Every structure is written in C-alpha cells, then in structure tokens.
Amino acid sequence: MDLIQVKQRFGIIGNSTKLNNALETAIKVAPTDMNVLINGESGVGKESFSKLIHQLSGRKHAPFIAVNCGAIPEGTIDSELFGHEKGSFTGATDKRKGYFEAVNGGTIFLDEVGELPLGTQARLLRILENGEFIKVGSSVVQKTDVRVVAATNRDLLERATQGKFREDLYYRLATVPIRVPKLAERKEDIYLLFRKFSMDFAEQHHSQMLELSAEAQQLLVNYPWPGNIRQLRNITEQICVLENCPLISAQILQNYLPVAQPGLPMLLGKSEGYGDGMSERDVFYKVLLDLRKDVNDLKKVVFGLLEGRSDVGMPTPMPQSVPHNLYEPTPNLLNGGRVEQEQPIPVFISPAETEDDVDFIETESTQNDLSDLSLEAQELDMIKRALQKNRGRRKKAAQDLGISERTLYRKIKQYELD
C-alpha cells in the first residue's frame, strides 16, 4: 500500500515532507513485529500512527488497546497492565486479567510511557525481552505475545540521565523511532486541515462551510498552534457554531486565537543557569528560590543600614519611618504559588529602636533559606509541613500541595517518609 492510499484510508491530511517521512517509516515497520516509539507533542496525532501500524500489520485481526500510562494511579498500574490474583491487595475480590494478557496476539499502545513508575518499567522490560510477566500477588510466570507501540512527548534519554526512566527500556522501546512533526512545522498543511474540519463541522451542525479571507489565511498559517491539530480542530468548530458569516476575516479569526504568553513558566530556550537537564517544574522552583535569596540579601542590606554600616552598597538614605511588622510569607512551592499561613519572616524592624534593642529573630524557615537552597530539601520540607498540617491524611496534603495523590505517594516513597 503506497503513501496516498494510506492517507485516504486513515483520513490523514497533509503533504509536508516531515509528515510524509513519518508515514513512510510507519508503513515500512508495520508488517514487522518490531517495537516502535512515537515521539511528538501533545495533539499531533500519535495514537493515529499507532492504529495505522496495527491495521497494516499481521495482527490486524487481533485485539488493539490504547493505555494512557499517565492517567492510571501508581498504586494500581501494575494490576491494570499485568493483572492480579484474588486477595493480593485490599479490594482484590477476584482474579483479574491485565492488558498484556487480554491483548495476547495483538498490539498494545502505551501512551505517555515516560510517566511509568520505575518498578513498572522493570516489569515492562521483562515482557519486551522474554514475553514473560507475573501477576500481582502471584508467583507463576506467564507468557504473552504482544507488540508494543509506545508514545511520549518527553525526552526519555534526558529522563534516563535524571534517573526517572530506564535507559535499557528506552532502547528496547525505540527499536524504530518515529517523530511526528508539530503543526507549526507543517505550515503548508494548516489551511488544508482547516478546510477539512470546516467541511466536517458544516455537515455536522448544518451550517455553511467557512471561507477565510487572504489576511485570515495568513494569520492562520503563521499562528504557532501550541495545541497542534487538536487546537486547530476545536477553534474551527467554535467558529462554525458561533459565526453566522461564512467569510471569516482576520479580525474575526483573531478573536478565537489565544494570545501567546511569553513569560513564565514557558521556557522555550536555555537561559543562563536554567534548562540543562531541568524540567519545567524544577525551573519554576529555582526561580522562586532565587527570588527568596534576593529577598534575604535585601534584608541583610537593610539591617546593615540600621546598624550604621557604610559598606552595604545602598547610597539612598533610609526613610524616616519604616513599617513595623512587615513580613514576607513563606511561599508554598508545591502548591502552585499559593500562600499558606506559615511562620512569617521579618523583613524590616522599626528604626526608632536603638542598636541595642535591634533583635533580628531568625526563624527556622529563614535558617533553611540561607543554609540549604537545594530543590530536594525545599520539596521535602513542603511535603513534611503539608502532612503535619493534615495529620498524615495524604489526600488532603496532596490538595494543599497542588499535586496529585499519586505524585505525593511517589515522593513519600522517594524520601522514605513512611
């Protein structure tokens, strides 16, 4: 089956070189039993590639299942993938087949494979190497014949250097890597996709098919589309439903395109001190910690002025009155930046007091700021505070921290807080 026939059969729109290269690789590898790793941003259509590979393989009449690894809680993912025996854990009232047993002879698509816990990665590696697995709560080795197609929007080799993904598993999964280009790299396909979606939605909603002015077409093609094809499809449907005029001008189209925010936390390039081997969350933590360090440096300058020092590098005189009890609350780094009622850190004291009366009280939080600014220490401290505040109730603690309960379980295990 050639490229044009594959596009017609699976409804793939586009003629860009990068898309064609990805499709040609998928067509060539489909008849084999080789494992495939599909790389690409969210919304580019990675699952469509997995279905294409399955349908063009010798397993097309066997089962196919897509599993979102990032949506399954860490405590149950082994049971979901490999099954469990009756009584193996609380709530296991009966035996259960896992996906690898149920799809025997077929294909399993592991989306967001980079989110798998390390323990589950070891089990998956054994299946890829020997076709063997053991159910949760069992000691019997079982066999399965499953082809694995995995997908990720992360750099798995970078995660491997951080100890978050097994390097040997990466090379097993990426026997044949396929990179699906993002929509911004397929500018010649954007208007074609818009026309296809417009025709589909006009028929679905019984409305007129949309037409774009020349300026609107230019705006559509030059927009960065961070949500890729999924975002383009949603915006096209919005315009079809909400606009009565079939000719869409650039001004009308602009109302439906979100304005790109250039600031934090999106870091597209590498700036000094950031980006090398750091996730977006780690970069966000570091920015906040650097901000706290700057505040501490400012406090030292202020106290130096109050003590009459001349070498503090502040040429401007102190005001006659400085607010008393002006505090900097400790930011909750794991709670999306929301401020909790925690022990305050004094920033200024009244200059009306004499030098002998000046008493800077270093709280435990302040000492931690000056002695240990590592991300791990700050993260551990925040987790301990949340657990103490909620008396060990992990669900409540996770809500306060602004993270999922699964992530909190993983962090508790990582820091051995049990």
pLDDT on residue 393: 85
- Which runs of consecutive H residues, i.e. helices, occur in 11-110? 17-29, 46-55, 77-82, 99-102
pLDDT on residue 274: 46
Instruction: Provide the 8-state DSSP code for 358.
Output: -
pLDDT on residue 418: 65
Stretch (H or E) spanning 65: strand 64-68
pTM of the model: 0.61
The two tokens of residue 54 are 């399955």
- The candidate with the shortest Cα–Cα distance to 70, out of 108, 115, 122, 37, is 115
**Are 186 and 229 contacting, i.e. CB atoms less than 8 angstroms apart?**
no
- The candidate with the shortest Cα–Cα distance to 57, out of 146, 130, 143, is 146
Q: Distance between CA atoms of 252 and 239, rounded to whole angstroms? A: 9
pLDDT on residue 398: 83
**Are 9 and 113 contacting, i.e. CB atoms less than 8 angstroms apart?**
no
The two tokens of residue 367 are 């000492």
Q: In Å, what is the CA distance from 304 to each residue of 300, 315, 337, 352?
A: 6, 12, 30, 15
Q: Distance between CA atoms of 85 and 91, rounded to whole angstroms? A: 11
- Which runs of consecutive H residues, i.e. helices, occur in 274-355? 280-306
Q: Distance between CA atoms of 399 and 295, rounded to whole angstroms? A: 28
Residue whose entry in the numeric block shows the structure tokens 């009306």: 352
**CATH node for 3-181:** 3.40.50.300
**Domain residue spans of the chain:** 3-181, 184-254, 280-414
Instruction: Provide the 8-state DSSP code for 108.
Output: E
**CATH node for 184-254:** 1.10.8.60
Q: In Å, what is the CA distance from 409 to each residue of 72, 74, 119, 387, 418?
A: 13, 8, 14, 12, 10
pLDDT on residue 285: 64
Q: Residues in the chain with pLDDT < 70?
A: 260-285, 302-374, 418
